[in-house]
Amino acid sequence: MFKIGDFSKLAQVSVKTLRHYGKLGLLRPSWIDRFTGYRYYTADQLPRLNRILALKDLGFSLEQIQHLLREDLPAAELRGMMRMKQGDLERQIQAEQSRLERVEERLRQIEQEGALPSYEVVLKSVPAQAVIGVRQVLPGFRHIQQLIAELRASLRASSLNADAAPYLAIYYDAEYRDQGLDVEAAAPLTRPVTVTQGALAHDLPAVESMACAIHQGPYERLPEAYSALMTWVETHGYRMAGPNRDVYLQGPEAGAAAQVTEVQFPVQKKPNQLFILQQGESGIRKEMIEMEPKIVSKPAFTAVGLLYHGKNENNEIAQMWGQFNPRMGEIKNVVDGAFGVCGSTQEDGSFKYLAGMAVSSVEDLPTGMEVWEVPAQQYAVFPCMLGNIHETYKYAFETWLPTSGYTYTKGPDYEYYDETFDMEKGGPLYIYVPIQ
């Protein structure tokens, strides 16, 4: 046996850490001298300690490590926790990569303009807020301060402090107007009140993604902040998603040069778009559709069909479907439509592909056919036509996946042909890309 100090040297772990692990039950001493309180460890405990340190190095918390070290922990649960950690790390890498891209973009702006940009745009969530407001259609922007003056009067009439919190203007028009503006001047409420005529107490909804920029200076120059925000919204793949707001952090009483206004644009990510081929009465036409896939979870299933292994250099997969279609009736216990299941591509460019049908059980396997077990997975589902299946796969992996926040689980992915599939029209079919 080793005293805790000697074991600490042997394991290269501090005594303080060993005591902490013992307190948590991760690595209890083999024996404690009840008279002196000395803690003793054995060499047999080194593998467990090394396992703790290895899991800690992978980023697991001590609580998670305690769970992972259970002797009765099923292998499936261990794999699941490892995959979750893998997903967390991949998302962290993506977040840091995104941050790196923003740094690079900022450097390009500095190089082009010779200075830092005038407006720093921040994306944040804004919680719901109870407000008291006065809403009117105004002749123009110069009348907003008059509307705020009316609001101040309503606050005083309701026995509220008219100077307690910053005012804000909310613009409800769906497009720009230089006159006839639908505007509300509002102030936050901290308690229910009985409002005077002309004012209204209500809740401003929460906004999950609000693009914000701080403008310092007179209101006449606010269009500069608007322009900077609109440029940011466009270049970062967002679109407007509701009424924009001006929050007057420091009003005109401080002097024009000292005015501070936060301009807020509610935004959401633009749906991804893709050109697809559509069959119409006048023939095949190219049509742009919004390609925001559905995220679904599918249980495991068994597929039976013809298997191809190669690089599809001579369109062998299409030829195999030509052989498989007449033989679909040979498969028993069919429970779903047809599937084109594709495995991971090997280093030499080859891959396995099964043209098959989902079955409840395998019975009397038809000559020349094979069985493929597809595990339960989460998928991003992309609709497409046969004529643009390659473009859809390319779009899913090269355009959507890198910016989606998900990671590819490396297969198998598959094409799904349900009862609506029309061979003459070439669709529709659905591409299932496994993600986590």
For residues 39 and 168, membership in a common domain is answered with: no
CATH for 13: 1.10.1660.10
Report yes or no on 320 lying in a domain: yes
For residues 261 and 158, membership in a common domain is answered with: yes
The pLDDT assigned to 281 comes to 54
For residues 151 and 110, membership in a common domain is answered with: no
- Domain containing 86 equals 82-117
Q: pLDDT tens, 70-121?
A: 877 787 877 888 888 888 888 888 888 877 876 776 676 566 555 545 788 9
| Cβ atoms of residues 231 and 212 within 8 Å | no
User: What secondary structure does DSSP assign to 336-354, as a single string?
Assistant: EEEEEEE-PPPTTS-EEEE
Report yes or no on 293 lying in a domain: yes
For residues 176 and 203, membership in a common domain is answered with: yes
Distance from the Cα of residue 387 to its chain's centroid: 30
For residues 145 and 236, membership in a common domain is answered with: yes
> What residue has token string 């340190």?
53
DSSP class of residue 396 equals I
Return the H-helix or E-strand segment holding 156.
helix 144-157
Low-confidence ranges of the chain (pLDDT < 70): 1, 34-35, 102, 105-106, 108-117, 176, 178, 197, 254, 270-291, 347
Q: Which of 206, 212, 211 is nearest to 267 (CA)?
A: 211
Write the burial class of residue 193 (CB in 10 Å: 0-12 exposed, 13-18 middle, 19+ buried).
Answer: middle
Length of the chain, in residues: 436
Report yes or no on 170 lying in a domain: yes
Q: For the chain, how many structural domains are there in total?
A: 4
Report yes or no on 216 lying in a domain: yes
Report the 10 Å Cβ neighbour count for 104.
Answer: 10
> What residue has token string 């902490």?
20
For residues 140 and 247, membership in a common domain is answered with: yes
- Tell me, what amino acid is at 384? C
Report yes or no on 284 lying in a domain: no
Report yes or no on 303 lying in a domain: yes
Q: Which of 225, 158, 222, 221 is nearest to 187 (CA)?
A: 158
Q: Is the dihedral of CA 239, 245, 246, 249 positive or negative?
A: negative
Report yes or no on 259 lying in a domain: yes
Report yes or no on 283 lying in a domain: no
For residues 31 and 166, membership in a common domain is answered with: no
| Cβ atoms of residues 209 and 266 within 8 Å | yes
